[in-house]
Amino acid sequence: MIGLALAYLRDRPLTTALNLLLLAIAVAMLVLLVQVSAQASTRFDRDAQGVDLVVGAKGSPLQLILSSIFHVDQPTGNIPIEARALLARDPAVARVVPLALGDNFRGYRIVGTDAGFAALYDLRLAEGRAFAAPMEAVLGADVARATGARLGQKFVGSHGLAEEEGQEQGHDHAPFKTVGILAPTGGVADRLILTSVASVWAVHGIAEHDEGEEHDHDHDHGATSGSQSLQPELTALLVTYRNAASAMRVPAMINRQSALQAAVPATETARLLDLLGASLEGLRIFAWLLAATGGLAILVALVGMVRSREGDLALLRVMGANRAQVFGTVLLEGVLTALVGAVLGWIAAHGLIMAARASFPALAELGLAAWQPLPAEAALATAVVGIGALAALVPALAVYRLDPACVLVRAG
């Protein structure tokens, strides 16, 4: 039956190719939607775990969350270093992790922080040791793999938070030394370069706690602005509460400060997923309509095939084929078409993710993996094969009821 079904499909190459194309596009769209929504949700939950509140400069709360937790956007600005002490003194706060951003090395962000960052994300060293002195740095697993950096190797950071074409190295006077490489985590830390806050200040000519010292840069910097660039500042603070009741008081206390804003990661990521969800739902409906169109095309093609080959099918019955075999042959055509379309669509979807990662660095920064199959994809493929079988059912039943004697008499 399989050989006969394949022969019938090969006999209609254009129709078969169009049906495959329709189903492959539908499956590719559905797989892309499943991958993006699942990986984004997982990534957001994983990277925000343990962070109850982010404190930064006034601006968009979502931008603050994206820049400070997921490291995919520009910071809203800088905040006074006194903000850290303000929160650390609060009995409702269990942990305050400082962040100082502004530079990158080959597109990977250099993050000034302290040992609390490693504790927050449960980071482990694969090689070397943690940074201890100024200008020492620990590389994330992806950074080390992509740059080929090794322990003891020195590198120079560049201005800004992303690599730009033709960008000149901006801090040749202050190279970092690699003293450690992190074990892979699957999270945001894999794509970061960690160093001390004092190192970030030193790169920009700011002495630790020496407020008012002249800054030696005469150009704009991504994380500093105006006269505030002369001061030792922080970009953001990652806050962990001591208890749930703190969520009622601490954000309100922070938002009363004229230079600070508090953003709750859970709230902002939920808002972001809601915004994405509306668009994804529209695309999902369109993709299923496309799959239904593919099923309808299979139905039309098989009905046409049955009508044009009634004589052949009747002859098969006369030669010994029973009703079930002829019924199965037609049904198999629909199933095989849907199955091949589903496989092609699945390959196309993952190939597109791989190409998008290479073309759009932001997707790579988000951690979108190209070849990470999900159980929902198997369910999608099964549903599409079901559509193919359902579409083939009507012509298959027509063949099942076929009276070979009548057909041959009519043909003769």
From residue 238, how far is each of 69, 97, 112 by CA, in Å?
8, 5, 13
Model confidence band, residue 358 (pLDDT cutoffs 50, 70, 90): confident
Given a cut of 50, whether residue 310 has pLDDT beyond it is yes
Q: Which two tokens stand for residue 367?
A: 């951690």
Given a cut of 50, whether residue 25 has pLDDT beyond it is yes
At 95-153, the pLDDT tens digits run 999 999 988 898 899 999 999 999 999 999 999 999 999 899 999 998 999 888 899 99
Contacts by 258-261 with C-beta closer than 8 Å and gap 24+? 259/57, 259/58, 259/79, 259/80, 259/83, 260/55, 260/56, 260/57, 260/58, 260/79, 260/83, 261/55, 261/56, 261/57, 261/58, 261/59, 261/61, 261/64, 261/76
- For residues 108 and 410, give the distance between their C-alpha atoms in angstroms, rounded to a whole number: 76
At 258-280, the pLDDT tens digits run 788 999 998 888 888 777 777 77
Given a cut of 70, whether residue 157 has pLDDT beyond it is yes
- What percent of the chain has a predicted confidence (pLDDT) above 70? 89
pLDDT in the model for residue 226: 45
More confident position, 315 or 198: 198
pTM higher than the cut 0.75 = no
Q: Look over the chain and give the mean of its residue pLDDT values, rounded to a whole number.
A: 82
Over residues 22-37, the mean pLDDT reads 86
Over residues 366-384, the mean pLDDT reads 83
Q: Which two tokens stand for residue 206?
A: 């700011």
- What percent of the chain has a predicted confidence (pLDDT) above 90? 26
CB 64 within 8 A of CB 236: yes
- State the residue for tokens 């190939």: 351
Model confidence band, residue 170 (pLDDT cutoffs 50, 70, 90): low
Given a cut of 70, whether residue 168 has pLDDT beyond it is no
Given a cut of 70, whether residue 222 has pLDDT beyond it is no
CB 10 within 8 A of CB 329: no
pLDDT in the model for residue 110: 94
pLDDT in the model for residue 64: 93
